């Protein structure tokens, strides 16, 4: 699944570890999410979207197809 996490993290000046701490996951999970190698649960997708104050569709590119 394509995501904009890396781009949004750079926009907000967050490191992978800082984002991981905010959503209470391990840094590796953020790494795999950014690489598109892992589809998050709805709960995690929602929490990440909340960190960036955006909707899930905007962060995870669900509306791009």
Partner 1 sequence: MSKNSCSLFLVPILALCVIGGFAFYLLEYEPMLSFKMIAIIVIALLVLAVPVYRSIQNARDKQKNIPLEDEMSRLLEIHAGAYAFRYSMMSWFAIFAFRSKFPDSEEMLGIGIMAAAAIYGLTWLYFKRNGIPHADQN
Site of interaction with partner 1 (CB under 8 A): 1, 20-21, 24-29, 32, 35-41, 44
Min dist CB 24 to partner 1, Å, is 6
Q: Are 20 and 26 in contact (CB under 8 A)?
A: yes
Min dist CB 7 to partner 1, Å, is 18
9: which residues sit within 8 A by CB, 6+ positions away? Answer: 15, 16, 19
Nearest CA-CA partner of 23 in 1, 2, 37, 5: 5
Min dist CB 6 to partner 1, Å, is 16
Q: Which CB, 11 or 35, lies closer to partner 1?
A: 35
């Amino acid at each position: 699944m394509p995501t904009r996490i890396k781009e949004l993290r750079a926009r907000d000046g967050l490191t992978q570890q800082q984002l991981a701490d905010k959503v209470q996951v391990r840094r590796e999970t953020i790494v795999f999410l950014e690489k598109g190698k892992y589809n998050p649960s709805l709960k995690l997708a929602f929490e990440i979207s909340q960190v960036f104050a955006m909707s899930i569709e905007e962060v995870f590119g669900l509306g791009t197809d």
